[in-house]
A and B are shown apart, each in its own frame.
Chain A
């Protein structure tokens, strides 16, 4: 389980594989407006990235991986 659900925000941790896409999608549907924390996330599967791109949650922090940073929506949410 690399998706942590906090009362005010969601957090992705460590290596986030294909299995994390569906829980993340459900969490975003259930908690509209929730922010996402990515600072401690080391890897994102394409399926997870596309949920983030589609849902466009507010990103409180970005992963340290520069490539992943470049793929995520920035600026308007930061």
Chain B
């Protein structure tokens, strides 16, 4: 995605969230002129931002909203409730557009029809003006088509309509555009048809200039600053959506390499190019194209002729370029793509950057001290001081690196406000659709957590709140009968507890009914009536997280779409957290997520298998056991051991990793016991090693295609340590 749109998305999301929360506040205090002003300003700025990225449809829709707000503001009258609804509806559309833009990296399709809907919403009687729609960037594709030679390099198309009187202001539009960054081509056309010469006013500017630029949208935006209202920019789309940004570049490089494959080592180079290209394609979710490239590579290697491989790569690039959402890509590969677009930009407090800068300075000092130690080592008379000095410097470097890690981690943290701020609106709408009156109280939204966690929390929290509203909160009549206030209260609370972040969603509804849960669980075959009856209430309530469990008597609009609370538990566990539940009949239910503060630092246990060291994340290990061979029993074709009364299958790690490592003779077996989907599995390793803290980044590029690998890091002696993903290994 280009930075132009990236910046726009960042700002537009903030503005939309701001407008939404101000609208909700305005709904509670309808006469508040300050709030109305804020709402107006947010819409106005949003409209301006849409104009900058050439999103005419959005600007048009927001203009209609702005008109209504401006009228209310001018008349100093409260905004009617129905207009608040309409404003919120238009923000929904804006959010949908932003999501689409984030996904495809360009203006969303069919935006004009949606914009018409919004304009009609605010002015039902008025005819929707069709004129501005023609201005919505339609000129750009034609223009680009007239300049095919520049199509590859052009990043931005620009159209400039100078005001007719610009010559009087000493402006020369052509001269100005000639200085545009990365100018590839320019065209001039009359703004109005040329008059006969006799009636022409030579001092009235009557040209429209269009230009193709190879500069980044940001550079162009800087260049046109001050002429914004007369300039339209159209950002030219990059590679197909869904492909990793670098995929094209990598394939391009492979093609270049293929041009130089003659001579010794040709077969090796062909093989390497084929493997890289296939892996890139597979990583991009194009399994069919990857296979084609692999086949072509085999043909090329056999004949030592790069042509088949080169053609296959060309075809892959063209095919994907021509139809970004190719139907030929297998759905399974597509499913690997992240479902929700993840924001790629981060706003960081300057103080945190300053802390990093200070640390960088200290690390430079430590580096100099090491240089001094290196000099000492050369001097035989003073070398005896070396060990103590090195030890001291290691200690100080250790502290600095730890500080650096903390500082970097803290850059990635976001306040939970980012996710919490979306709920007031959603809760309001859900409550309205259920005919319930609910107040949402948000506490601790300044609590911080890692960006990954904050962003992934929305779905599970939404699910919990939906459930609370739908099943927890009683209808008004029932609440009245129970002497409860008619308005129910939902609490969304976050707090930092040690290295964990606790997020709670609590309602003051009817609470969970142990008997009903047991009945439902029995009906769905989650346990025999006897086992269920013997279960303590706490454990029975936990059953709502079991897959396939749902107590809703009827499928409502709000929840009960066949996805149960099990999806909540899965989502939270994926983040390394746990979900617990407390419920008091008649008083309410609290669902608590306990999540790690940061996902970056991973504690690893080192193990050896077939002479190679691997890292295993601590959080997937239950225990390590040294077992006597005699205690290991054959079980079917496999081996198993009884641990604490449970039979646990044993898997040889080296064998699993494709190394032929027969378990050693009669020494004790070293077992790492992990749990996978509730089932314990013991991995036999040759040796247990030490522990290690590590910044584990998700594997990317070629490593990402290898199942069972969570990532890799370098060890002190320069060896690469592969970190295993135990669940992935068995998948």
Contacts and interface: CB of A to CB of B under 8 A. Distances in A.
Contact of B186 (A22, A24, A70): A70
Given A46-B172, A46-B207, A67-B178, A51 B200 contact: yes
Contacts of A54: 190, 194-195, 197, 200, 206
B200 A46 contact: no
Which among A21, A46, A51, A67 has the highest number of chain B CB atoms within 10 Å?
Answer: A46
B203 A71 contact: no
Interface string B147-171: 0000000000000001000010000
B461 interface: no
A49 interface: yes
A18 interface: yes
A28 interface: yes
Interface string B172-213: 111100100001011110100011011010110111000000
A12 B595 CA distance: 76
Nearest to B178: A67
Contacts of B206: 50, 54
A70 B177 CA distance: 14
B203 A53 contact: no
A47 interface: yes
Nearest to A43: B175
A50 to B, nearest CB: 5
Contacts of A18: 167, 172, 203
Contacts of B167: 18, 46-47
Contacts of A67: 178, 183, 186
A45 B190 contact: no
Interface string A33-59: 000000000011111011101110000
A20 to B, nearest CB: 9
Nearest to A50: B207
Given A25-B200, A70-B185, A71-B186, A53 B205 contact: no
Nearest to B196: A54
Given A53-B188, A70-B186, A25 B172 contact: no
A46 B175 contact: yes
Contacts of A45: 172, 174-175
Contacts of A22: 202-203
A24 B186 CA distance: 24
Given A54-B200, A70-B185, A71-B187, A49 B194 contact: no
A25 B185 CA distance: 27
What is the interface of chain A mostly: helix, strand, loop, or mixed?
helix
A4 interface: no
A71 B209 CA distance: 10
Contacts of B187: 71
Interface string A8-38: 0000000000100110110011000000000
Contacts of B178: 67
Contact of B197 (A44, A47, A49, A55): A55
Contacts of A53: 188, 190, 194, 207
Contacts of B202: 21-22, 24-25, 47, 50-51
A25 B206 CA distance: 15
Interface string B259-287: 00000000000000000000000000000
B203 A21 contact: yes
Chain B CB within 10 A, most for which of A28, A29, A47, A70: A47
Nearest to A24: B202
B197 A28 contact: yes
Contacts of B172: 18, 45-47
A23 to B, nearest CB: 9
A25 B197 contact: yes
A71 B200 contact: no
Contacts of B173: 46
A39 B666 CA distance: 97
A51 B206 CA distance: 10
Given A25-B197, A29-B198, A71-B174, A47 B190 contact: no
A18 B187 CA distance: 20
A25 B186 CA distance: 24
A33 to B, nearest CB: 12
B205 A46 contact: yes
Contacts of B174: 44-46, 49, 71
A67 B212 CA distance: 13
B546 to A, nearest CB: 71
A18 B174 CA distance: 12
Contacts of A49: 174, 188, 207
Contacts of B197: 25, 28-29, 51, 54-55
A71 to B, nearest CB: 5
Interface in B618-642: none
A22 B183 CA distance: 29
Contacts of A24: 202
Nearest to A48: B202
B200 to A, nearest CB: 6
A70 B172 CA distance: 17
13 contacts: A21-B202, A22-B203, A25-B200, A25-B202, A44-B174, A45-B172, A45-B174, A46-B162, A49-B188, A50-B188, A50-B205, A54-B190, A54-B194
Interface of A: 18, 21-22, 24-25, 28-29, 43-47, 49-51, 53-55, 67, 70-71
Q: Which 6 A-B pairs have the closest CB atoms?
A: A54-B194, A21-B202, A46-B174, A25-B202, A22-B202, A46-B173
Given A51-B202, A54-B206, A71-B187, 16 more contacts: A22-B202, A29-B197, A44-B174, A45-B174, A46-B172, A46-B174, A47-B167, A50-B206, A50-B207, A51-B197, A53-B188, A53-B190, A54-B194, A70-B185, A71-B174, A71-B188
